[in-house]
Every structure is written in structure tokens, then in C-alpha cells.
């Protein structure tokens, strides 16, 4: 579909909304908030090694910053929008902490690694427990002191890869998914309580997205429907997570732990996007391999020829690849989450 005036108007609206998010958070910047991030590719901003990470290959980063930046999207991800809301720069990825000036550490740090989970996953990268180990080491080394931690927020977005790993193992089935969810929850409780013990004053934990709506799962219906069985699994996970966070807050009658409802935000954003943006791709990803299951977004042959296709206008996509939202998708999700974000600073 040709780029129309309507599409230009949508694009301008997105730009101004992003500026509003920065301005909204700017009033909070005097408190010198630090943002510490733990989790997976939904919040990773560059921790994978460049030599092996698909997030460092074209066409990732084509929308922002115009080249691969280690984000699993064409542009910004959830971390970027949360940081802008808080009135700070996106915190530096842990991997690059020694490559920048000390002043670049004052906004916090991102310990998230794409592909990881609460438990070990198919990705040979640091799981959440190890990510917290990295954070604890920096606290012990006085990189972040008590005053820094007193003005800190943690963002935790994790668990989707735990389920992907579970389902990829042939010995597992959906009938035993509830037992696996409990195993995840037991470890997740330990992990986030440990973050609190290290001095972080407010911890936002995302509920899991509707796993059945991820393009990898929706592909079997030609991207027309979500897989409801997996969405039920997401709902069960979220019910247990909500209860766990309530129990942790009840320990000392606090409100340290808050939820960011990615499940409802995904559906709300998808519905608004497909309703108000003619020509949108819906559940279909903007970037995908030419042969499903064999090639992926960013795949090339020995001569460097592209083995993937990319949509004409990423701003009309909600999903960038078969697993991750586009920048436009994340912006829409962030907008749906905005009513909950005030709890981060109150």
C-alpha cells in the first residue's frame, strides 16, 4: 500500500507521543532515578555479543537508531519507553559498562539478555539469577551506593523463553504446564525479593504477554488467529504472578512490587492498531525468513544475499519479527501501560 497522508499523520502522532513521554518523565528527573533492568529480549538493549547476536545484524535497528544496536526490534523496546517516562536516558547495557565514562552509569544499568529466562533456557546466556549476581557485584563494589538505590526502580520482564524451552522439549506437554509454572514462580519470587534486598525501592514486574498471539504461533492460521491454549497458559502464569507479588508486598505491608500488565496491553494495542491503522499487518511480522523454520529475519547466504523479506513500512507493523514487537508495537503497548506507570515514582 502506498504511503498516504493518513500514514504520515500516524507517524507524526507517534513522534509527538514519544516527546510527550519524555516531557512527562522530565519533571521527575530531579530525583536522579536509576533504572535497573532484568529479563529477556523484550527489554535487552545490547548485551549479546555482536559476533553471535541476531540483534546486531541488519535489518534490526533500521527505524532507530538506523543501524543494529543490540535491540531485538527495528527500533526502541520497552526499556527505552520506560526510561523516557522516568525522565532519564536508557541505561547502559551491562556488557558495555567498561567501555563508557562513569557518568554514563548514572542512569542505572540493563542486565537483560535476549533468549533468557527465570530458569535456564535454550539460549546459552545469563539467566535471571546470574543477572542479579552481576547487579549484586556492582553494589558490593560501590558502583551504586545507598543513595543511588534509594532512588532506583527495577524493571523485570521475563518468563516467555522459559515456556518456549519447555514446549521445545518433547518430553513435556501442556497437561503438566501448571507444575512448570509453579517452578518458575518459586524461583521468580526468590529473584525479585533478592532485588529488593539489594536496596531497590520499587520493582515493576511485567505479566507475560499472550503467548498464543506471537507470530511464531499465529503462523499456523496464516496470522489470522491466536493460539488459545497458549493464551490460557499466559493467563494462568499471570494469576499466579499477581498472587506472588501480593504475598511479597504483604510481608512488610509495602507496595514495592507492582505489575505491568503486558497481557492486556498487547490486546489493547493490537485492537487499536488494527482498527485505526488501515493497511496494518496485524499478527503478521514485518520481517521474516523466506522459508519459515529455515530462515529468519536477518538470515543471509554465504554470499551475503538476504534470505528474509521486510515490509515496505515498519510503522504499519505491530510485530517486527516472529517473536518481537516493532518499535511501533512497543510504543502502542507503552501507551496502554501508561496508566500504571505512575506507581513507579509514588
- What positions carry a catalytic annotation? 41, 321, 324
The DSSP call for residue 300 is B
User: How far, in Å, CA of 128 to CA of 135, rounded?
Assistant: 11
Q: What is the rounded CA–CA span in Å between residue 212 and residue 209? A: 9
Element (H, E) at 12: helix 5-26
CA angle, corner 270, sides to 91 and 346, nearest 5? Answer: 45
Let me know: does 319 contact 326? Beta carbons within 8 Å.
Answer: yes
Task: Report which of 336, 204, 230, 213 is spatially closest to residue 285, judged by C-alpha positions.
Answer: 213
DSSP string, 248-294: HHHHTT---EEEE-HHHHHHHHHHHHHHHSTT--TTS-SEEESSTTT
Task: Return the H-helix or E-strand segment holding 195.
Answer: helix 177-197
Amino acid at each position: 500500500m502506498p504511503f498516504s497522508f493518513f500514514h504520515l499523520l500516524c507517524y507524526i502522532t507517534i513522534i509527538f507521543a514519544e516527546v510527550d513521554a519524555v516531557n512527562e518523565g522530565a519533571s521527575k528527573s530531579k530525583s536522579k532515578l536509576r533504572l535497573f533492568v532484568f529479563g529477556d529480549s523484550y527489554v535487552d538493549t545490547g548485551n549479546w555479543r555482536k559476533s553471535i547476536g541476531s540483534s546486531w545484524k541488519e535489518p534490526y535497528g533500521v527505524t532507530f537508531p538506523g543501524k543494529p544496536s543490540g535491540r531485538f526490534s527495528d527500533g526502541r523496546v520497552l526499556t527505552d519507553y520506560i526510561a523516557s517516562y522516568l525522565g532519564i536516558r536508557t541505561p547502559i547495557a551491562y556488557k558495555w559498562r567498561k567501555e563508557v565514562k562513569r557518568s554514563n552509569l548514572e542512569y542505572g544499568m540493563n542486565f537483560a539478555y535476549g533468549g533468557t529466562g527465570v530458569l535456564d533456557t535454550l539460549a546459552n546466556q545469563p539467566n535471571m539469577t546470574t543477572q542479579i549476581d552481576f547487579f549484586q557485584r556492582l553494589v558490593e563494589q560501590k558502583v551504586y551506593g545507598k543513595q543511588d538505590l534509594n532512588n532506583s526502580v527495577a524493571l523485570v520482564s521475563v518468563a516467555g523463553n522459559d515456556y518456549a524451552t519447555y514446549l521445545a522439549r518433547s518430553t513435556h506437554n501442556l497437561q503438566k504446564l501448571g507444575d512448570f509454572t509453579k517452578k518458575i514462580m518459586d524461583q521468580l519470587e526468590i529473584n525479585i525479593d533478592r532485588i529488593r534486598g539489594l536496596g531497590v525501592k520499587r520493582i515493576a514486574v511485567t505479566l507475560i504477554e499472550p503467548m498464543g498471539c506471537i507470530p511464531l504461533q499465529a503462523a499456523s492460521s496464516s496470522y489470522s488467529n491466536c493460539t488459545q491454549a497458549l493464551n490460557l497458559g499466559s493467563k494462568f502464569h499471570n494469576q499466579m504472578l499477581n498472587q506472588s507479588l501480593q504475598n511479597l508486598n504483604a510481608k512488610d505491608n509495602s507496595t514495592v512490587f507492582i505489575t505491568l500488565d503486558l497481557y492486556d496491553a498487547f490486546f489493547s494495542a493490537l485492537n487499536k492498531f488494527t482498527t485505526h491503522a488501515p493497511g496494518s499487518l496485524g499478527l503478521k511480522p514485518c520481517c521474516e525468513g523466506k522459508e519459515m523454520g529455515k530462515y529468519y529475519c536477518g538470515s543471509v547466504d554465504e554470499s551475503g544475499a538476504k534470505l528474509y523479506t521486510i515490509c515496505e513500512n515498519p510503522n504499519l507493523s505491530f510485530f517486527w519479527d516472529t517473536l518481537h514487537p516493532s518499535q511501533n508495537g512497543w510504543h502502542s503497548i507503552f501507551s496502554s501501560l501508561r496508566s500504571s506507570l505512575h506507581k513507579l515514582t509514588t
